[in-house]
Copies of this chain bind each other. A is one copy, B any other.
């Protein structure tokens, strides 16, 4: 079929009539499907079930330094958990702090602490007239919601195939001391699945921020979340790179096991310079008596080490790869060459990013919803929920079964076609 833009008005009208019929047929099915959230599917959760048995009622629940993990104590993580999460994060155990079940919570708390107490002795942000954050777009809606919640002004920075537009990042960060941070998902980014290039990472490490309390929020959520054994993206280890560049304190590197073991019942961690970690520890000692050490122990006893993690991630990959491949094939088959959409083909992570023709995303998501398929809200991948070109849609293929996903994806492509024809006719 020809690109839609080359169709005559009459051809478009005929196409519209056909798509309207198709769409009504779909609606008549009364579907109820969900491609909206980056949640593992049930079969992915099942592969971690043995984790429920590693800390049984007769087990020794002491960590390797002999501390009884059942009792109070050990504010920043048991040694073996620091080692395991350190391996995942490619840092030494002393460069990492273990937190509770949510790295998002740690990011939130880091911003909250910066607001009330400042970063490493700098003025608390709540005392400043203006605080700004850079937001590579499209990006992760939960990041943007945190900065919005604290009244921090968000500045869009376009993503490129190698990461955020670094010319723009460098210029803004070096010229405006109200800019205090940037949200990054550097590997298999949410939603595009882009991994920052070596050059991008090096330029991040060499930033010369106007603000001494500028920090890169490096959310390495998908560090080991590959889809293909034979092709993995490579990401430069940012802490070492920053140290080399004489910028050791510029980055907080977050990670968690949420999409490795059980979402919501995993463990989270931050890797950073000693000065930064001491800053974290200063408030942790006031905020809590300690995080859940039994869950730390449970994770270490189950995964053992990085090899165990990789082995486990292969099982995840085997379960979700067919879903990504199916969606990509369907998009190619039904939308390829039509000039009404582009999409990413990630090697890892949890999402496919879809860009429709300008001004169509909201309508597509609305059509899908009416037809019983929930997509992530259009605009969600931008600060304040405002996609200036109204074109980006995040596809989350993991949670439905393959059969459900296929049905949902078929609905989606019809919605894209219908919205595009409507747009061209308007």
Chain A interface residues (CB < 8 Å from chain B): 37, 39-40, 42, 45, 48-53, 55-59, 61, 68-73, 100-102, 104-105, 108-109, 112-113, 115-117, 124, 126-127, 142, 145-146, 149-150, 258, 262-265, 283, 286-295
Contacts and interface: CB of A to CB of B under 8 A. Distances in A.
A301 to B, nearest CB: 12
Given A71-B262, A264-B290, 13 more contacts: A39-B71, A42-B68, A51-B57, A70-B262, A72-B263, A102-B288, A109-B287, A115-B115, A146-B286, A149-B286, A264-B292, A264-B294, A292-B295
A94 to B, nearest CB: 22
8 contacts: A39-B73, A45-B71, A69-B264, A102-B289, A104-B287, A108-B286, A146-B287, A265-B295
A149 B281 CA distance: 13
A264 B289 contact: yes
Nearest to A74: B264
B56 A52 contact: yes
A56 B58 CA distance: 13
A70 B261 CA distance: 9
A59 B52 contact: yes
Contact of A68 (B45, B57, B295): B45
Contacts of A258: 72, 289
A75 to B, nearest CB: 10
Contact of A72 (B52, B264, B288, B293): B264
A50 B283 CA distance: 34
Contacts of A104: 287-289
A101 B292 contact: yes
A16 B399 CA distance: 76
B37 A72 contact: yes
Contact of A115 (B37, B40, B56, B116): B116
A59 B39 CA distance: 21
A70 B45 contact: yes
Contact of A50 (B49, B57, B288): B57
A287 B105 contact: yes
A265 B150 contact: no
Q: Which of A59, A73, A146, A288 has the most CB of B within 10 A?
A: A288
A42 B112 CA distance: 36
**Nearest 10 CB-CB pairings of A with B:** A265-B294, A108-B287, A126-B126, A45-B70, A105-B288, A70-B262, A53-B57, A72-B263, A149-B286, A49-B57
